[in-house]
Amino acid sequence: MKILIIGHGGREHALLWKLRADAPQATFYATRPNPGMAPHCIPVDLAPDDVDGLATWAEGEDITLTVVGPEVPLARGIADRFRKRGLPLFGPSAAAVRLESSKAFAKELMQRCGVPTADYRCFTRWPEAERFIREHGAPVVVKASGLAAGKGAVVCTTEEEALEAARTMLRDDAFGDAGREIVVESFMEGEELSVFGVTDGRHVIPLLPSQDHKAVGEGDTGPNTGGMGAYAPVPGVGPELLSTISEEIFLPILDAMERAATPFRGLLYAGLMLTSDGPKVVEFNGRFGDPETQVVLPLLDSPLLELMVSVARGGSIADAETSFSNRTALNTVLTSGGYPGEYERGHTVTIPEELRRDPDLLVFHAGTRKEGDQVVTSGGRVLSVVGLGDTLGEARERSLGAAEKVSFQGKTFRRDIGWRAAATEEAAAY
Burial class (CB in 10 A: 0-12, 13-18, 19+), 19: buried
Could you tell me which CATH class the domain 328-428 is placed in? alpha beta
Tell me whether strands 215-217 and 328-335 are parallel, antiparallel or unpaired.
unpaired
The number of helix segments (H) and strand segments (E) in the chain equals 15, 22
SS3 string, 165-191, reads HHHHHHCCCCCHHHHCCEEEEECCCCE
| Contact criterion met (CB below 8 Å) for 413 and 335 | yes
Phi, psi of 62 (to 5 degrees): 55, 55
- The C-alpha atoms of residue 165 and residue 412 are separated, in whole angstroms, by 26
Q: How far apart are CA 310 and CA 3, in angstroms?
A: 14
Give pLDDT, residue 176.
87
What's the Rg (C-alpha) of the chain? Answer: 21
Query: Which one is the CATH code of 190-312: 3.30.470.20, 3.40.50.2300, 3.40.50.1220, 3.40.50.410?
Result: 3.30.470.20
Q: Are 52 and 81 in contact (CB under 8 A)?
A: yes
Task: Look at residues 312, 319, 303 and name the one whose alpha carbon lies nearest to residue 267.
Answer: 312
Stated pTM of the model: 0.94
Q: Which CATH architecture has domain 2-90?
A: 3-Layer(aba) Sandwich (3.40)
Same fold? 2-90, 190-312: no
- Tell the CATH topology of 119-186: Dna Ligase; domain 1 (3.30.1490)
What is the C-alpha to C-alpha distance for residues 119 and 111, in angstroms, rounded to an integer?
9
DSSP 149: T
Ordered per-residue pLDDT tens for the chain, 430 residues: 999 999 999 999 999 999 999 999 999 999 999 999 999 999 999 999 999 999 999 999 999 999 999 999 999 999 999 999 999 999 999 999 999 999 999 999 999 999 999 999 999 999 999 999 999 899 999 999 988 776 788 899 999 999 999 999 998 888 888 889 999 999 999 999 999 999 999 999 999 999 999 999 999 999 889 999 999 999 999 999 999 999 999 999 999 999 999 999 999 999 999 999 999 999 999 999 999 999 999 999 999 999 999 999 999 999 999 999 999 999 999 999 999 999 999 999 999 999 999 999 999 999 999 999 999 999 999 999 999 999 999 999 999 999 999 999 999 999 999 988 877 665 555 4
C-alpha 257, offset from chain centre? 21
Q: At what angle do helices 419-428 and 392-405 cross, to 10 degrees?
A: 130
Query: How far is the C-alpha of 58 from the C-alpha of 61, rounded, in Å?
Result: 5
> What one-character-per-residue DSSP string does 40-99 give?
GSEEE-S-TT-HHHHHHHHHHHT-SEEEE-SHHHHHTTHHHHHHHTT--EES--TTTTHH
Beta strands 27-31; 42-44: pairing state: parallel
Domain spans of the chain, in order of start: 2-90, 119-186, 190-312, 328-428
Cα–Cα distances (Å) from 60 to 37, 63, 384, in that order, read 23, 8, 34
Residue 232 has, within 13 A of its CA and on its CB side, a CA count of: 22
Could you tell me the end-to-end alpha-carbon distance of the chain, in angstroms, rounded to an integer? Answer: 52
